[in-house]
Structure 1
């Protein structure tokens, strides 16, 4: 008799499927560059600098001996803070934040090296990437854990309503809503009202 397989955990195949992970990586990388491009263009317009793709993709623009280099460094740090929101929306799992953050920066290293035709040799660039990955990982894990530990509110109000009716004495223990003795009341389903009338002995004998 063949051994039966244990059914997979709900959501395991969909959460860890290669296609889903690849899609998340691509979307997160595009969001990373899009947000950085917006911040760099805005900063360049304010500072009156020429807008070029070197500001976004070249590692030679990040230098510690120029004002432009320090400004770009600050922009990339702000971009890491903004990407925490993207990680929270796309990944939403604290155990995967480190993998996605390191993958994002590794792809950025490859793109920068291909664009500049050389591996970055600037120490300022490497320090900035380490700080960016550390900041993105720490804040991303905190944000995802905060989301995972949020209490679930079902919004039920039935308990308070039943307790209020029992306190007024209008409903029996079983919630039937019947009255005792002569008087009026409402049916179990609440559709129509009724009235109890006492019967005389003559009507009973008949």
Structure 2
């Protein structure tokens, strides 16, 4: 089934979609792990998965909590770059951003054994989703709005002489 949208023909490809979701999720968790490890070394904290998935770790009362917050915000920019290079379509950025954050919600829920209930967790994830979506749409839109050269080549001007 072919769909005509804008200037591109797109085809529904569930395998490509699933591969893109897995690639984005994997890349974001790997980058978050590296950013978090760097921040843990910087502030002298222990390296644990709790920093990634434990919603009680997100707080501003000490440098460890602030480093977790900064890691998530920096990872939102990495996520925007990932969406730019893996997905590359402005209209899909919101979909992939929401997919990543809903999967993260589910993983945190399972990891903690309870639904995330702190305001700081929800606020941080809302901010990160907004940053990731807006910045990735900006990056993708810059590529999509580039001029498409039509029929003009510099060699054509020499033929006129």
Computing the radius of gyration over CA atoms, which structure comes out larger, 1 or 2?
1
Change in 2 beyond 3 A, CA 1:49/1:149: same
Aligned partner of 2:55 among 54, 59, 77: 59
Compute the TM-score of the two structures, normalised by the length of structure 2: 0.89
Using the TM superposition, name which of 100-109 and 51-60 deviates more. 51-60
Contact 1:64 1:124 in 2 (8 A): no
Q: Which residue of 152, 156, 160 maps to 1:159? A: 156
Partner-residue secondary structure (3-state), 1:71: helix
Kept in 2: contact 1:76–1:132 (CA 8 A) = yes
The aligned runs of 1:1-150 (5 Å cut-off) are: 9=4, 11-13=9-11, 16-150=12-146
- Check the 8 A contact 2:53/2:108 in 1, yes or no: yes
CA distance in 1, matches of 2:130, 2:2: 37
Counterpart contact for 1:63–1:122, Cα < 8 Å: no
CA-based RMSD = 1.9
1:68-97 Cα shifts (integer Å, max 9, x gaps): 112211110010011111000111111111
Higher percent of residues as helix: 2
Does the 8 Å contact 2:40/2:67 carry over to 1?
Answer: no
Cα distance, 1:96–1:158 mapped onto 2, change above 3 Å:
same
The 3-state SS of whatever aligns with 1:12 is strand
Question: In the superposition, relative to structure 1, how do residues 122 and 8 fare at CA in structure 2: closer, same or farther (>3 Å)?
Answer: closer
How many residue pairs end up in the alignment? 157
Return the structure number with greater relative CO, CA threshold 8 A, min gap 6. Answer: 2
- Deviation track 1:99-138 (CA, whole Å, cap 9, x = no partner) reads 1101100000001111111111111010000001111111
Partners of 1:133 and 1:47 lie apart in 2 by: 25
